Amino acid sequence: MRHTHGSVEVICGSMFSGKTDELIRRLVRANIAKQKVQVFKPAIDVRYAVEKVTSHAGSDFDAIPVKKAADIRAKLDADSTVVGIDEAQFMDADVVVIARELADKGIRVLVAGLDQDFRGEPFGPMPALMSLAERVDKLHAICMVCGDEASRTQRLVNGKPARYDDPVVIVGASEMYEARCRRHHEVPR
């Protein structure tokens, strides 16, 4: 089943906000609708399974790992009508061009990723993806300090907030990250 027109949908937010669960929910619905779905993820993300996108809650969906965004073109089946891209913040800037190309060809592109890095700054290609999207959903987690709505990702090193000059990309989960609200998000300089 082909769409009458393509689109880009971005699911963003902090870690533990349910981005991958929401991506998987939309992918499952596309499968139910008998649409041809393909999912891609950065090869750097090997936290749970190499050939699956997996949420922190444990749901998963088959995926193709790619080293660079341009690999999506080579691995895309001609009859795919829905393309999912998880952890898009780890993709190179070409992911923006590819998302636009796919949508222009009538493909529904579902993108999930962190909108901010641990510093609270825009993360990788996510701002550009959000600007070209027809739909953007920002999800929130729960602040691990006060229980309010959390929109930021706190990186911890030995239980203390990571410093601003620490590397931006370190793949991990609850052992080194937690969700925080604006008030409790800390980035010492």
Indicate whether 117 belongs to any domain.
yes
| pLDDT tens sequence across 22-59 | 999 999 999 999 999 999 999 887 666 667 788 877 78
Predicted pLDDT at 147 = 97
Indicate whether 155 belongs to any domain.
no
Residues 176, 177, 178, 181, CA torsion sign: positive
Cβ 137 vs Cβ 12: under 8 Å:
yes
Indicate whether 105 belongs to any domain.
yes
Indicate whether 163 belongs to any domain.
no
Per the DSSP assignment, residues forming a β-bridge with 136 are 10
Residues of the chain with pLDDT > 70: what percent? 93
- Global pTM reads 0.92
Mean pLDDT of the chain: 92
Indicate whether 162 belongs to any domain.
no
| pLDDT tens sequence across 52-103 | 788 877 788 899 999 999 999 999 999 999 999 999 999 999 999 999 999 9
Going by the DSSP 8-state scheme, the letter that residue 53 receives in this structure is E
Q: What whole-number distance in Å separates Cα of residue 171 and Cα of residue 47?
A: 8
Residue 105 scores a pLDDT above 60: yes
Predicted pLDDT at 49 = 66
Indicate whether 19 belongs to any domain.
yes
**Catalytically annotated residues:** 87
Residue 130 scores a pLDDT above 90: yes
Residues 86, 126, 44, 65, CA torsion sign: positive
Indicate whether 185 belongs to any domain.
no
Predicted pLDDT at 182 = 97
List the single range of 3-7, 109-113, 127-131, 161-165 with lowest mean pLDDT.
3-7
Q: What whole-number distance in Å separates Cα of residue 79 and Cα of residue 37?
A: 9
Predicted pLDDT at 170 = 79
Confidence of residue 171 (pLDDT cuts 50, 70, 90): confident
Indicate whether 150 belongs to any domain.
no
Predicted pLDDT at 3 = 59
The total number of structural domains that make up the chain: 1
Domain coverage including residue 22: 7-139
Q: What whole-number distance in Å separates Cα of residue 179 and Cα of residue 140?
A: 9
For position 61, which CATH number holds? 3.40.50.300
Q: What whole-number distance in Å separates Cα of residue 31 and Cα of residue 25?
A: 10
